[in-house]
Structure 1
Amino acid sequence: MKGQEWYQADDIAEEYDDKRFSRGGQLIDRREKAAVLDAIMPIEDRKILEIACGTGRFTVMLADQGADVVGLDISAAMLQQGRRKARDADLAGTLDFLRGDAGRLPFPDDHFDTVVAMRFFHLADDPEAFLQEMRRVSRDQIVFDTFNRFSTRSVYNWALPMGSRLYSKSEVAVLLAKTDLTLVDVEDDFLLPYGLYRSIPNALASPLRALDEGIGEFSLSDHLASVSYWNTRVR
């Protein structure tokens, strides 16, 4: 996985949420969580695995909605932040955090209803192998996102400390076919890059987001969107 050493550093974990999901990044956080909730509903009592759960943004949210969730991540420092969030939350479901490798998931076949992998595929060295492993442990659904090749994401991609893999729609379609997954729905969003939203206060980011969403209503804009949210089913 790209940037593995950088990602596991203690100081990165401590600052991760503040740097990415404060200021205008709050809009990104809100949209990503909505995409996951919309794909999985109804959530209560669903057995869910989140790959690369990081600081637990989605795992804590899903447990709060009544799911039984396992969050897996390679970074002990990130998991520590997630456990801290879980302690502060009054969870309706159950939540366990586990350190592990997404390429070798420590679970039997068909163990989960849903597997979620957000903010992961742009770092994957072998996305097909990772997707195959997720499909192995899911009996129903896999939800993930990708950053798109023909988008503003490519403008600042070179500046990221770990690099980033960008995808075309056709590449993802090939991945789904190879891993025997059926596409239920895909949502495209954010014509403007994430980095712009994170760099400005929410008061400035909100009108930009409204403009972004307005332009996004036109079908041609789907090809220029920075991110796609994929909802797939196991055949």
Structure 2
Amino acid sequence: MKGQDWYQADEVAEQYDDVRFSDGGRVIDHREREAVLSAVEPSDDTRVLEVACGTGRFTTMLADHDAEVVALDISREMLEQGRRKVRDAGLADRVEFMRGDASRLPFPDDHFDTVLAMRFFHLMDDPEPFIAEMRRVSSDQIFFDTFNRRSARALYTWILPMGSRLYSENQVVSLLESADLSLAGESHDFVLPYGFYRNLPGALARAFRTIDEAIGRTIPGDYVASVSYWDARVSSE
């Protein structure tokens, strides 16, 4: 798995949110939270498994919307950051943190309503075993994002410390079919890639985001978007 050692480093876990989601990075954080909430629609009847929960950004948000969340990550350091975030928010009774491997999930079939995997599939050399396991433990929905092969991200992905797998839309559809999942919804965003926003002050990033959204509403802009959000459903028999 690309980047596993990088993500588990103490200094990366401690600085992850500040480096990626402060200043201009808040634009990214806001959009990702919006995408997750609109697809998952959590409530007190929703059982969610979050794969690769990292520092608990989405874990805390989902628990705050009354979902019962199991948050899984392979990194002890990331999990500790997540536990701290949930405790500080007073939501520890709604979240269980677990260290584990997403290719061998320790849960029975159909155990969760929704499985969430954000910032995950770009690290996979072979994504099929992971999507199959997510499908096995979900009774309804899998929501995840990918980075796109057709986007500007292809120009700089090789310099990232962990590397990134880029996907075409056909590859994602094939991946879902292999796991007996159907595509219920998709959206594509960020003509300007994430790295661009992180290097800007907040006000300037928001100004560029307005331009980015306008371009993204056009057919060419949608085609070269760097990120896709995929809402997949368990196929009815």
TM-score, normalised on structure 1?
Answer: 0.98
Give the aligned residue type for 1:17. D
How far residue 220 of structure 1 moved from its aligned partner, in angstroms, is 2.7
Map 1:53-68 → 2, pairs under 5 A: 53-68=53-68
Distance (Å, rounded) in 2 between the aligned partners of 1:70 and 1:50: 6
Identity in percent: 64
Measured against aligned partners, the alpha-carbon deviations of 1:96-121 in whole angstroms (never above 9, x if no partner) come to 11000011111111100000000000
Distance (Å, rounded) in 2 between the aligned partners of 1:148 and 1:93: 37
**Residue 114 (str. 1) matches residue 118 (str. 2):** no
Aligned position for 1:73: 73
Distance (Å, rounded) in 2 between the aligned partners of 1:99 and 1:81: 13
Give the aligned residue type for 1:85. K
How far residue 43 of structure 1 moved from its aligned partner, in angstroms, is 3.0
Aligned position for 1:192: 192
Measured against aligned partners, the alpha-carbon deviations of 1:134-180 in whole angstroms (never above 9, x if no partner) come to 00000000000000001011121011111100000011011111111
Give the aligned residue type for 2:221. S
How far residue 42 of structure 1 moved from its aligned partner, in angstroms, is 4.5
Tell me whether 212-221 or 70-79 shows the greater mean CA deviation: 212-221
How far residue 90 of structure 1 moved from its aligned partner, in angstroms, is 3.0
Aligned position for 2:149: 149
Aligned position for 2:228: 228
Give the aligned residue type for 1:177. E
Give secondary structure in 2 for the equivalent of 1:77. Answer: helix
Give secondary structure in 2 for the equivalent of 1:212. Answer: helix
Aligned position for 1:85: 85
Aligned position for 1:45: 45
Map 1:8-23 → 2, pairs under 5 A: 8-23=8-23
Any conservation in 1 of the 2:186–2:231 contact (CA below 8 Å)? Answer: yes
How far residue 124 of structure 1 moved from its aligned partner, in angstroms, is 1.0
TM-score, normalised on structure 2?
Answer: 0.97
Distance (Å, rounded) in 2 between the aligned partners of 1:142 and 1:103: 15
How large is the Cα RMSD of the aligned pairs?
A: 1.1
Structure 2 segments unaligned to the other structure (5+ residues): none
Give secondary structure in 2 for the equivalent of 1:72. Answer: strand
Distance (Å, rounded) in 2 between the aligned partners of 1:197 and 1:141: 30
Give secondary structure in 1 for the equivalent of 2:134. Answer: helix
